[in-house]
């Protein structure tokens, strides 16, 4: 049996947290592999450094070194501390050389290389702590483990076939020999052996890719929350933990608002029906949320309500666009060129409406304005929108479900600006003004969750 465990920044953010994480790994039966994020705050520190000049590089590096060595001095002694210090210095020297190489700064993957450095330090630290507890362990970078990625800088996607071959060659033998590999999350290596990150929060996705590649029996995502909730507890204080979900439900919630998992985490494990558990590393005895292929149906109208805020609707108007499918294709192509995520699309005879994050509006308009002016009548933007994601059992097959949900939206005093229905049979997604979004979430939860 092989279990892949992922630990986020807060789970390795201090000496106490790292020791707790090591004990969690120790208590897992069978073969185990850990995928680890950078210590909390480290990635942001590195990204901030990239956004400034090089004048304070030594100060930035000294701060990183102190953060890790302080924890090492608290948890390690003797030969293990000396061994860690030597290995840590080797990795730190590689970072210094990278920062001092003026030519490599022109590499389009330079930012990915810098922002992924934190994982190289945290994995080393956790591996040495496990050794201090009497376990065989080795820290592996994504390059050493065999995680392959394709795509543009900052937006990598795992090459699952190549990664599986790499993991089977480099990681599986270690597991079979009762060694615990600790692998860097957040990035893979591209075809030119350059670090390519999976986007912020991408360590969840890395762990799912590792589970897929090793044909693991289970993936455990250890974080700082108890699991998926029926709503954000900050919005709905009476929200309850969801004990069990299927992959589709979890994917919808992760994509459309719930911050428990990176949205891309689900697909690699769903492909091989690998169960996924979300657990709280600060409360390891709690059951968390189990996500798998099948679960027992329940009678709730809704299981959870999530919200994604700070969105905008861009409406592109063009005469009889419904009869000119090439125009729809061109609009979507321009959105793709901008590298923008679209959360919902709606069409009519002469318009296409797209829901995107407000921060992406400027870049989106820049690309849409490249369309032939003769084909576009106008482009409108409506900001301060929020997307509500209502998830339930076979929601679209339930007669009258939409009417009941929108009746509750009416009670909350909100107007529905856009609807996305039919793409998933477990969710109904719609857009309301941001000033009404909290009221809508609370009303839906009170009326329908666990009814």
The per-residue pLDDT for 322 is: 78
The per-residue pLDDT for 48 is: 78
H or E element in which residue 381 lies: strand 378-391
Homologous superfamily assigned to 304-448: VC0802-like (3.30.2130.10)
Q: What is the pLDDT of residues 29-72, one digit of tens each?
A: 999 999 999 999 998 888 877 766 555 667 778 888 999 999 99
The per-residue pLDDT for 22 is: 98
Tokens of 102: 């003026």
The per-residue pLDDT for 393 is: 76
CA separation, residue 294 to residues 80, 135, 170, 290, 396 (Å): 45, 36, 32, 11, 18
The per-residue pLDDT for 161 is: 97
CA 226 to chain centre: 17
- 10 Å Cβ neighbour count for 260? 21
Domain with CATH 3.40.1160.10 in the chain: 2-224
The per-residue pLDDT for 450 is: 59
Domain with CATH 3.30.2130.10 in the chain: 304-448
The per-residue pLDDT for 258 is: 72
Question: Which residues of the chain have a pLDDT value below 70?
Answer: 51-57, 102-103, 257, 295-299, 422-423, 450-451
CATH, range 2-224: 3.40.1160.10
Do the Cβ atoms of 289 and 227 come closer than 8 Å?
Answer: yes
Q: What is the pLDDT of residues 144-173, one digit of tens each?
A: 999 999 999 998 999 999 999 999 999 999
The per-residue pLDDT for 51 is: 67
Where does residue 348 rank: exposed (0-12), middle (13-18), buried (19+ CB within 10 A)? exposed
pLDDT-above-90 percentage for the chain: 72
Average pLDDT value over all residues in the chain? 91
């Amino acid at each position: 049996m092989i279990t892949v465990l992922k630990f986020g920044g807060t789970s390795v953010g201090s000496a106490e947290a790292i020791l707790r994480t090591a004990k969690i790994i120790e208590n897992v039966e069978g073969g185990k592999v850990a995928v680890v994020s950078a210590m909390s705050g480290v990635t942001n520190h590195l990204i901030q450094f990239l956004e400034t000049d090089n004048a304070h590089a030594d100060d930035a590096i000294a701060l990183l070194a102190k953060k890790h060595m302080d924890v090492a001095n608290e948890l390690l002694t003797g030969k293990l501390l000396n061994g860690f210090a030597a290995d840590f210095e080797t990795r730190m020297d590689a970072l210094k050389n990278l920062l001092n190489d003026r030519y490599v700064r022109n590499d389009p993957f330079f930012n990915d290389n810098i922002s992924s450095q934190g994982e190289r330090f945290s994995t080393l630290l956790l591996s040495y702590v496990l050794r201090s507890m009497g376990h065989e362990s080795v820290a592996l970078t994504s390059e050493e483990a065999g995680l392959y990625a394709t795509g543009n800088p900052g937006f990598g996607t795992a090459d699952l076939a190549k990664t599986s071959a790499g993991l089977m060659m480099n990681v599986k033998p270690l597991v079979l020999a009762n060694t615990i590999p600790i692998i860097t999350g957040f990035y893979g290596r591209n075809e030119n052996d350059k670090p390519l990150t999976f986007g912020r929060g991408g360590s969840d996705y890395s762990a799912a890719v590792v589970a897929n590649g090793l044909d693991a029996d289970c993936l455990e995502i250890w974080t700082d929350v108890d699991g998926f909730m029926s709503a954000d507890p900050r919005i709905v204080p009476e929200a309850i933990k969801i004990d069990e979900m299927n992959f589709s439900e979890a994917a919808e919630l992760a994509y459309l608002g719930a911050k428990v998992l990176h949205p891309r985490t689900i697909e690699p494990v769903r492909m091989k029906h690998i169960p996924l558990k979300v657990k709280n590393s600060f409360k390891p005895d709690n059951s968390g949320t189990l996500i798998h292929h099948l679960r027992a149906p329940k009678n709730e109208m809704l299981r959870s309500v999530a919200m994604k805020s700070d969105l905008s609707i861009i409406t592109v108007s063009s005469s009889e666009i419904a009869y000119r499918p090439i125009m729809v294709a061109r609009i979507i192509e321009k959105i793709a060129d901008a590298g923008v995520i679209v959360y919902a699309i709606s069409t009519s005879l002469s318009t296409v409406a797209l829901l995107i994050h407000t921060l992406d509006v400027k870049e989106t308009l820049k690309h849409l304005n490249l369309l032939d002016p003769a084909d576009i009548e106008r482009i409108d933007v409506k900001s301060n929108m929020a997307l509500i994601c209502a998830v339930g059992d076979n929601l679209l097959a339930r007669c009258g479900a939409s009417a009941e949900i929108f009746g509750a939206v009416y009670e909350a005093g909100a107007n529905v600006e856009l609807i996305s229905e039919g793409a998933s049979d477990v969710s109904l997604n719609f857009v309301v003004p941001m000033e009404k979004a909290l009221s809508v979430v609370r009303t839906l939860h009170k009326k329908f969750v666990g009814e």
